[in-house]
Amino acid sequence: MAFLRLKNVAPGTIVQYTQVLKQFFQFLPAQLDSPRSIQPVHLREYVAAIQTGGTAPKTVSDRVTIFKRFFGYLHAEGLVASDPATRLPQPRIGKRLPKALSLEETEALLLVIPDDPKLGRRDRILFALIYAGGLRAREALNLRVSDLDLEDGSVHVIGKGNKERRVYLKRTVLNALRDYIAAANLDDYLFPGYGGKPMTTRNIELRIKDYAQAAGIRRRVTPHTLRHSIAVHYLQGGAPINFIQTFLGHAKLSTTGRYLQLTDQASKEIALKIGTALDPEPDEKKVVRERRTVWGDSDLVMWDTYLTDVVGWLAS
């Protein structure tokens, strides 16, 4: 775990590694008292046990990854003679698309939050900031007043693995933030909870769930849904994929590529709904088109006469 901390692995990930490895060690026979005693069969038996117990495929795959990294580290450090996880199969899981809201749903969600001076204003600013900045919930809750550059129109964000990025915000969000900070007289955390510490992610997960229900959104909505939504909305608006990668703080472009599949679905709807020259036409439009001059291959006409006829036809 000290090695993971040196690698700037997120604290939540380190906790996950600790819990998974503890559970695995408790599963092992009592006579195994050292990682040197662990054989590939022990790992396969554990994976089979949690799969039989109904553990989700994604969770199983995550645990296999943890085993591979843990025993790979031990082997690299010379603490075990061989790596028992080398040939441990990685369960195949289906790729899940990010859940995103439409523009209309996002507007409805933000508008339904009451603008009362105590909690409503804070929640409206918080969720608008998560959406506008494409922030993870923890990134938003850890923001301090000093992280904002109101003149430059940006916010300094520390993401996973202590990776830093700068996100630029629209003027409406900046103005709302300025008014919110002044009204609440904030000088440390932007969204303080009890005792001056940041709010918890669990707290805002519950709050956005209530707001989504009030807005008439029947599916599950979390703060991360807003992060997915702004990425899709930017892509639909023509933003390049490299901008989205930097904007969201993704280390790999393949991670950002998931959002393209969502915009593909929107493209499908547009392609099927908007009329083209191949679609059946109303009778009145057919009549108009039949009135145009039919030009044969052997007709020799002046170009300006032909162009005038075409323009007149298009205008009709």
* pLDDT 10s digits, 154-191: 889 888 877 888 888 888 888 889 988 988 888 889 98
Cβ atoms 262, 98 nearer than 8 A? yes
Band (pLDDT 50/70/90 cuts) for residue 19 is very high
CATH superfamily of 103-269: Intergrase catalytic core (1.10.443.10)
- Among this protein's residues, is 233 annotated catalytic? no
Q: Catalytic residue among 227, 228, 233, 234, which?
A: 227
Q: What angle do CA 59, 263, 125 make, to 5 degrees?
A: 75
> Other CB atoms closer than 10 Å to residue 262's CB: what's the count?
19
pLDDT digits (tens, 9 = 90+) for 107-144: 999 999 987 777 778 899 999 999 988 898 999 999 99
Spatial CB neighbours of 257, under 8 Å, sequence gap ≥ 6:
241
Is 228 an annotated catalytic residue? no
68 catalytically annotated: no
Phi, psi (rounded to 5 degrees) for 289: -70, -30
Active-site residue, selected from the candidate residues 63, 136, 207, 228: 136
Structure tokens at 147: 């992280």
Q: What is the DSSP letter of 145?
A: G
Which position among 160, 165, 209, 258 bears the catalytic label?
160
pLDDT value, residue 24: 94
Whether 142 and 235 have beta carbons less than 8 Å apart is answered as no
224 is catalytic: yes
Helix 40-52 vs helix 11-27: crossing angle, to nearest 10: 100
| pTM value surpassing 0.85 | no
Taking phi over 0 as left and psi of -120 to 50 as alpha, with beta for the rest, 157 belongs to beta
pLDDT of residue 165: 87
Q: Is 144 a catalytic residue?
A: no
Both structure tokens of 120: 């409503």
Active-site residue flag, 285: no
With a CB cutoff of 8 Å and minimum separation 6, the contacts of 184 are 122
Closest CA to 27 of 41, 14, 16, 13: 41
Which pair of structure tokens corresponds to residue 186? 């904030």
Domain boundaries, the chain: 2-76, 103-269, 283-315
